[in-house]
Structure 1
Amino acid sequence: MLKLLQNEWMKLWSKKGTWVMAGLVVLLVIGMVGLVKWTETLTADDGTPDWRTAAQAELTQDKSSLDADLLKGESKRMTEERVMMNEYRLANDIPPIGDISREGMIYDPSVGSIALLLTVIVAAGIVASEFSQGTIKMLLTRPVKRWKILTSKYAAVLLFGVLLMMIGFATTILCAFIFFPAGGGQALAVSGGKVVEVSVWSHGLYVLLLSFGNVVITASFAFMIGSVFRSSGMAIGLSLFIYFTGNIVVSLLSRFEIVKYLLFTHMDLTIYESNFRLHDDITLPFSLAVLAVYWVIFLIISYGVFTKRDITA
């Protein structure tokens, strides 16, 4: 199995397009950080209230909501934690992480979106290209079990996604240190009923890990479509369709109970770093469980079709 994976990995990187994708990640990240820096120059003196005023206003509003007993479940828990953190900030004069800052750049999940789009291209074509190039018969007549061949291809896709994420993250850190000064704020969290200060590096890696969840699910979907229908174009098109229209579908169905079980609702796990929740009973473990079910379904279909396919077709 390891040798199969190594061969698949070497085959993947022997293609010129793979190197182009890696370079494209670097260029897109540099462009993104450069755009943020340019935006900073435009909004430097826009009259935005300082963080203390904003924190105090949010604190007052949250306390009013809690006193009025308007919140339940997850919304109440989040509001209580936000109250604790804002009180801690104001008492200790600790500003929050600014979006346009060195720390804010390290926390930015945009790297995940860039890696996702490029990983989908590889996932869609890694099996479909064997059919389009006419090499599938030679591949499947080798004395190796088909599930091992497919596993090596799928593992190569995931490793490629991981590599793109790490390249993008490293580029983001480098650009953040070049373009932005230190001291952009401090992230806080509530642990064991107490407010604790969070390391910028551990939190940045945590956000990166949450972003990778979307990469895995969307790439797995593209891998399934490419394996079943033998068309990389269809796989890329459908994968990008669900990626870009997912939020619209969720918004349209937000009033219905079924939205909790839709794939689109849980694809972006970085939402758990924000203050927004679609439903009080949707938590990170629940989202991971739903995604795991869809992931298993995608793989069952991929393996089921690939292992039973007639190679003369």
Structure 2
Amino acid sequence: MGKLLNLIRNEWLKLWSKKATWVMVILVAILMIGIAGLTKWIGNQTDSVEDWKSASQGKIPFLEEQIANTNLSADELQSFKDTLAVEKYRLEHNVAPISSESVTGFISSLPDMLSIITLFTVIVAAGIVASEFSQGTIKMLLTRPVKRWKLLTSKLLTVGIFAIVMSIILFVFGVIGAYIFFDSVPGMNLDVVNGQVIEVSFWGRVLLLTGLSLVNVFVIGTLAFMIGSVFRSSSLAIGISIFLMFMGVNITFMLARFDFAKYILFANTNLTQYIGDNHPIIAGLTMPFSIVVILVYVIVFLVISYWSFIKRDVTA
């Protein structure tokens, strides 16, 4: 265990000795402050501000009309009923929704911005093994009296820690940007649990969504790690991973009408689709099913990565 920790420490120091890593940190900080300012500026260009009570009252007739529709599936019907219950609860108890033009509104959007971290994690994961070959340092690395699987594990764990640290940086600067540009406006999330409308903890929900969004970061990062380990090319790994990251969901949408679509990785990586009033990309998907699918893919990625690094002639 001590050797593995030392290997992780060495990989961590190597990672942060690169200028590119610090550039990523600076970019995240600038992006978060910039996005907050841009969001505020765009909001200021909109003159009309609709009262939330009027909006809720306007939704109720539409929801009641949809519920009366006999052509709805069971899931769609339940969704409309839950939404109607939430809108009625807001009006009866004077509970405003979280405004997008507020501190809490911007902070609530931070989990969706983790795609920025996914991009940087892919770059690091793709190059952490492949760069050893391209720079010719792999032979020196393997002269150490350490088993190859430990070397690869230290690199994999370093990528995971990097993703977590970068997510924290994004979150911190996102919160700073929120408090710089937005005002505090009362508002609360509501959920329907077992037929009852409940008030949701703001920070609890944000942290939950952030944690679930990190799953997608780890999965795409593991994919890039595998490609970089197998083909020893960081550019190939980055290209394929980024392509799948942006196109995976679109491809899944196109294939959604087929039964096998639910087994596609990108139909399952977004676990936030099961939280609140979100809906699964494919009807019938559940969080336990998605977790199992993700685990199967990740295990396959890791098996291929370790087999490639341990069994093949990596010193060639």
TM-score by length of 2: 0.92
- 2 CA distance for matches of 1:56 and 1:145? 66
Q: Using a 3 Å threshold, how does the CA distance of structure 1 residues 293 and 63 change in structure 2: closer, same or farther?
A: farther
Q: What are the equivalent positions in structure 2 for 1:166-185 lying under 5 Å apart?
A: 166-185=168-187
Is the 8 Å Cα contact of residues 75 and 280 (structure 1) preserved in structure 2? no
Is the 8 Å Cα contact of residues 99 and 185 (structure 2) preserved in structure 1? no
SS of 1:305's equivalent? Answer: helix
- 1 CA distance for matches of 2:124 and 2:60? 47
Q: What's the counterpart of residue 101 of structure 1?
A: 102
- 2 CA distance for matches of 1:60 and 1:261? 38
Q: What's the counterpart of residue 245 of structure 1?
A: 247
Match 1:283 to one of 286, 290, 294: 286
Tell me how far 1:158 sits from its aligned partner. Answer: 0.6
- 2 CA distance for matches of 1:41 and 1:60? 30
Q: Output one character per residue of 1:68-87: Cα deviation in whole Å (capped at 9) or x when no partner.
A: 34443443443332222111
SS of 1:282's equivalent? Answer: coil
Is the 8 Å Cα contact of residues 138 and 315 (structure 2) preserved in structure 1? no
Q: Which runs of 5+ in 1 are unaligned?
A: none
Q: What's the counterpart of residue 59 of structure 1?
A: 60
Letter of the structure 1 residue corresponding to residue 292 of structure 2: A
Tell me how far 1:277 sits from its aligned partner. Answer: 3.3
Q: What's the counterpart of residue 80 of structure 1?
A: 81
**Mapped pair 1:157 → 2:162:** no
- 1 CA distance for matches of 2:62 and 2:287? 26
Tell me how far 1:49 sits from its aligned partner. Answer: 4.0
Letter of the structure 2 residue corresponding to residue 34 of structure 1: G
- 2 CA distance for matches of 1:270 and 1:55? 24
Q: Output one character per residue of 1:221-257: Cα deviation in whole Å (capped at 9) or x when no partner.
A: 1000000000000000001100111232122212111
Greater than 6 Å deviation, 4+ residue runs: none
Is the 8 Å Cα contact of residues 123 and 222 (structure 1) preserved in structure 2? yes
Is the 8 Å Cα contact of residues 131 and 234 (structure 2) preserved in structure 1? yes
- 2 CA distance for matches of 1:158 and 1:81? 37
Report the number of matched residues: 311
Q: Using a 3 Å threshold, how does the CA distance of structure 1 residues 139 and 73 change in structure 2: closer, same or farther?
A: farther
- 2 CA distance for matches of 1:184 and 1:229? 52
Q: What's the counterpart of residue 269 of structure 1?
A: 271
- 2 CA distance for matches of 1:239 and 1:279? 22
TM-score by length of 1: 0.93
Q: Output one character per residue of 1:124-170: Cα deviation in whole Å (capped at 9) or x when no partner.
A: 00000000011111212321111111111000001000001011001
Q: CA RMSD in A?
A: 1.8
Q: What's the counterpart of residue 90 of structure 1?
A: 91
- 2 CA distance for matches of 1:182 and 1:14? 40
Letter of the structure 1 residue corresponding to residue 23 of structure 2: V
SS of 1:165's equivalent? Answer: helix
SS of 1:237's equivalent? Answer: helix
**Mapped pair 1:254 → 2:256:** yes
Match 2:18 to one of 8, 15, 18: 15
Q: Which range moved further: 75-84 or 209-218? A: 75-84
Tell me how far 1:97 sits from its aligned partner. Answer: 1.4
Letter of the structure 1 residue corresponding to residue 91 of structure 2: L
Q: Output one character per residue of 1:161-219: Cα deviation in whole Å (capped at 9) or x when no partner.
A: 00010110011111111211112521112234322212221111112112111111111
Q: Which range moved further: 277-286 or 161-170? A: 277-286
- 2 CA distance for matches of 1:254 and 1:53? 36
Q: Which runs of 5+ in 2 are unaligned?
A: none
Is the 8 Å Cα contact of residues 211 and 270 (structure 1) preserved in structure 2? yes
- 2 CA distance for matches of 1:114 and 1:194? 36
